[in-house]
Structure 1
Amino acid sequence: MLTSTLLAFVSALRSAGVGVGPSSVIDAAASLSVVDLLDRRSVRAALAATLIKDPSSLAIFDRLFEVFFAAGSHQDPSVAEEALFDSIRDALLDEDWERLGELVGQAVERFGGVSSERPVSGVYYAYRTSRALDLDRLRFELLAGLASRSDNEAASAFDDPEYQAGQRLHELSSLIDREVLARVVEARGAEEVARTLGLHLPEDTEIMHASREELRELRRIITPLAVKLTAKLERRHRDKSAGRLDFRATIRRSLSTGGVPLEPITRNDRPMRPEVVLLADVSGSVASFARFTMQLLFALSRELRGLRSFAFIDEVDEVTELLGGGRDIETALRDVAQSAKVVGLVGHSDYGATFRHFNERYGDSISASTTLIICGDARSNYHDPEEMQFRSFAERAKATYWLNPEPQGYWDTGDSALASYRPWCAAVVECRTLRQLERFVEQVL
């Protein structure tokens, strides 16, 4: 039973994008044989230590651990429904967490209405329980109780009744969520619940549809991602620049050893760093994706021979200086949004007009050594795509790549003009997440 639960847990972790190898699974199974299986904290610590190699995966691990190793609270059926509110308030005031867990178990049983026949998430059941308990009233009475027990002014902000009430109510909400999850798992099974959670690592978040919290997390991980990519590119350039046999020098030296090449001589070539021109659509639909692309490439700029960036909507403007100079990237990107002249007469995406203006003003920035990257969804609001303007500078580049943040099934539908530009691109790449963007940069640069 425990082995099957562990394997199902590992399968759910892998489905969420967490890398767990066979040796880690063996180590996890071995660790469970030396810990107290009735102590959830020990079990969690053992599994986290053996299965998780990257701290960014811990949030997913914790969520799935609660699913596969759910533990509901014991109930205290002796408390009448009308006395449940007062009992929970008193337990919060006394910080009696064990007692509170028993009361929360009864509250979820009475008010949650958890059922395997309802295709709803645990959030619904938690909301029903919280509404029945009237958290606003509970907060008011909790504040009154804390104030009456405080003899003097708070010694610190942590002793303030407002802060204390907020912390204890947060603990109550966490207990409700945990209790609801345990009952949903009991009703539907852990594997089914894990599938409905839709968990994924931040780098697998679809940028165009990310919530505010997800965008904040993406901003947090973009710098470590750039550092990792920089190290990979440095190793690649170093490996490519060393180790070529200098045949003539080796033969010349071998004359001193009777023609036997005892000391081969290698030639260290200068690494060929790419020259990149980025042309990014910063209209509302794809602005977030363009932002992360510019941020990542500028973080990698020292591994490039040259990087020039252009932003556009229906006008195009160079933003290289706004982003460069070692400035804070957040401030620089705000300046791009506020200062760059990217809006023309129309005010919404017009790829044809953009490519015409780019060709007229900045066409000389494209040469045979340039890697051109277009970042956008190619949705031109039914304007003339002017594909010959695009062709005239795309053909001059060493290679032209188009990064599209839309799913591939949406390409060439509606007002998409991608089909007009595809023939002159080395590749059109679906790039909806940071992981896909990382993979592109690693392969192309």
Structure 2
Amino acid sequence: MRREGGLFGDLDWLVVFLYFILVTLGWFNIFASVYDPVQEQSIFDLTLESGKQLLWIGTSVILITVILLLDFRIYESFAPILYFVMVLLLAGVLVFGREVNGAKAWFEIGAFRLQPAEFTKLATALFMARYVSTNHVKLTDFSTQVKVLLMIIIPIGLIQLQPDTGSSMVFAALLIPLYREGFPAIYLILGISIAVLFILTLLLPQQYIFIGIGTLTLLAILFQEKTRKRIFATLIMTIVVSGFVLGTDYFLNEVLKEYQRKRIEAIFRPELVDPQAEGWNLEQSKIAIGSGGFSGKGFLEGTQTKFGYVPEQSTDFIFSTLAEEHGWLGSAVMIFLFIALILRIVFIAERQKSKFARFYGYAVAGIIFFHFTINIAMTIGLFPVVGIPLPFFSYGGSSLWSFTIMLFVLLKIDMHRAQVLSRS
């Protein structure tokens, strides 16, 4: 066992540095998104979102200190309890929560608001890591596959009842550590195939889709082993895929809420959407990003930002503020910082000696990666608009706290990796 170099001597300071750089840049961009040039405003003004975010940053530093001082074994030991508590809170928020923007997702006590879904990602990652790291558990067993998928599906179902599609989608990131530990690839292939087919049905006329399905079916029958069982399986698959294509319109019009359908159509069928109504957020975001050019208009100089053209400017669409004021160059720097952070987290995950720590590390990397990519893709028109914050940038205490706790729990576990016997 190696000797630790002081209280925080084995802390990964590169991740700490990247964290504080991203949080600081996020804080300045929140101020830029709410700044009114007519009034003399300070970034420290507690009536502004930037001032309130500074309070969340200060409390995050306290959380970091507590996390690093606690025994690292506590996070694995209490993972099941934390998971079930968060599931109860997700159920409770449906009854006692406050509705904001059509979603009943927050507990409100005075001026304090807490979103359980943000912390449930952390709890689910820890719980799954503990379960998967148990000696008798094998991800190749079907019963185990069902159990780990249920751990993800339960919070997704409760979050969708709020409804909060963005938060529920992020739980798909927990498939990344599962595949790292040997989860069958067929589930990933199936999921990607369904997503691609869904997009194709939105982009192409149905007759073209059916011509393609028929051609692939014919080729499969001609070139595969011509046994009755294989031909029957091919025909069944063709029927299932055809039914999926026929059911797409029903899903859009009858299952999804109208605003959800409009957001999907804004990306894939823009001719059906009113740019002055449902397509407004996305259109204004793209204008703001495009107007930034190479180096941007300068800090606090963004016109789209200052005149309130982009809704949810300090939260979901914070990237448009950065891109308008700092251009392609500033956006590239921010993207580089996120990629560096994610790669470093993967590196940390790979050097762990326990399966629990490795699984959790990949879960943290996956969750940050999903938030980062979906948020930016959403603001530039490559993904439907869903309420999902940009880590460390978007305004909000629940988001900042959850990412802070998630990241520094990993760093705390990593500090003691030499004390953990390998169970990989």
The TM-score, its normalising length taken from structure 2, stands at 0.22
Higher relative contact order (CA 8 A, sep 6+): 2
Higher helix share: 2
Structure holding more strand per residue: 1
TM-score computed with the length of structure 1 as normaliser? 0.21
Give the greater-gyration-radius structure (CA): 1
